[in-house]
Structure 1
Amino acid sequence: MPAISGVHHVTFVVGALDAGISWFTRILCARHVPRFDHDASGALFGVILELPGFLGSAPAGGFGTVPFQ
């Protein structure tokens, strides 16, 4: 079986897009990249967030449990 060499993207469905962006930027230090947002006829339905330095592993201390608010 071939080894996995990387991950292109992961999708998370959220009930409130602005709150989701806020949570991912605050908790995971993600950076919103508006030029790649998904917009259909003026209705925003998806955004792109980058995780700088993401290598697929948690920090040494782990992420812990952080509730979505």
Structure 2
Amino acid sequence: MPELAGIHHVKIPVTELPRAVEWYGRVFGFKPVIEFPDADGTVRGVAGEMPGLGTTLVGFRENAEAARGCQGFDPVGFALQDREDVVAWAAHLDALEIPHSPVIEASIGWLLVFNDPDGLELHLYTWAAHGVDHSSRPGYGRLISSPGAPPGL
């Protein structure tokens, strides 16, 4: 099988493009670099960079129906290194007055959960593991014992 070269972009549906661009800019440092005008010239989509994501672009596209359908869902988890980074992000969100979960001891690492303006659930999850086995808890991940299985979610 040919090998993938990473994640090119993540596209998030939104109800109001200017609001999303402003919010993701304030929270994550999002900077638009490409816009997508419709046939009538109205820009209903943008893609851009967020610090820490390397060459992976994040895109936003006005699509109210899709945005409503994604409310409460977490299609992407942004990576943090360790628990201290989660605590720093909690303080950052507090300063912006954005409600969030407490620091959660998740399946493998630590997790912080909050919502964007359209109710999309955003996860900040650590690469560092906490070493506690939660595999017997409902809703928590457990390792799959097969060759090539990922190290857990």
TM-score (norm 2): 0.37
CA distance in 2 between counterparts of 1:7 and 1:44 reads 24
- Say which structure, 1 or 2, has more relative contact order (CA 8 Å, 6+ apart): 1
Partner residue in 2 for 1:37: 35
Count matched residues.
67
Q: Does 1:19 align with 2:19?
A: yes
Please state which structure has a larger fraction of its residues in strand. Answer: 2
SS in 1 for 2:44: strand
Structure 2 unaligned blocks of 5 or more: 55-77, 90-111, 118-153
Same amino acid, percent of matched pairs: 25
Q: What root-mean-square deviation, in Å, do the aligned CA atoms of Structure 1 and Structure 2 show? A: 2.4
Larger of the two Rg values belongs to structure: 2
Structure 1: gaps (5+ residues): none
8 Å Cα contact 2:28/2:51 also seen in 1? no
Moved more, 4-13 or 55-64: 55-64
Per-residue deviation at 1:2? 7.4
Q: How far 1:52 moved relative to its partner? A: 2.6
2:125 alignment partner in structure 1: none
The one-letter code of the counterpart of 2:79 is S
User: What do residues 2-42 of structure 1 show as CA deviations (whole Å, max 9, x unaligned)?
Assistant: 77541100010010111100111111111122xx2000221
Q: 1:17 to 1:58 in 2, by over 3 A?
A: same
The runs of 4+ residues in structure 1 deviating greater than 6 Å are: none
- Rounded to whole Å, the distance in 1 between the matches of 2:7 and 2:36 is 20
Residues 22-31 or 58-67, more deviating: 58-67
